[in-house]
Amino acid sequence: MSQLLFVYNAEPGLGHALVDSLHKWLSPGTYSCSLCALTHGGFGKKKDWAEYLDNIPLPKRFVYKDAFIKEFGTRQVPAIYLEHNQNLHSLITAEQLQTTDLLGLMETLTTQLKKYTDV
């Protein structure tokens, strides 16, 4: 079974979420989680992103960097990975996240998924 892993370069918890939202709003260019910046607004997931995710017929896990590193070891974050056939495949890198917009992210993710799945 395959599953998508969305790994955020952020810390868990309500306090961190509030600080992150404020940081994205006040100084988006210095915010360290480009995945968060692309997919979330000040009050949660962007509507287009949520609808896009709903149409991907794979299980999805959204994890913070600390939990991801504990489970998989040190890897690049933020990023999107596919856990497929007991292997972890990088679908979207941190560098790609920094140089795209939401539409580009969705297009690239769709293309990448086709390499590994029947999605």
Rounded to whole angstroms, the Cα distance separating 34 from 86 reads 27
Beta-sheet pairing, 79-84 with 87-92: antiparallel
CA distances from 16 to 11, 20, 61, 66, 86 (A): 6, 6, 19, 13, 32
Domain range list for the chain = 3-116
pLDDT digits (tens, 9 = 90+) for 69-116: 898 887 888 999 999 888 899 999 999 998 999 999 999 999 999 988
pTM of the model: 0.80
CA distances from 111 to 80, 91, 118 (A): 13, 9, 11
Check whether the bond before 12 is cis (ω within 30° of 0): no
Q: Which DSSP state fits 94?
A: H
Model pLDDT, residue 12 = 53
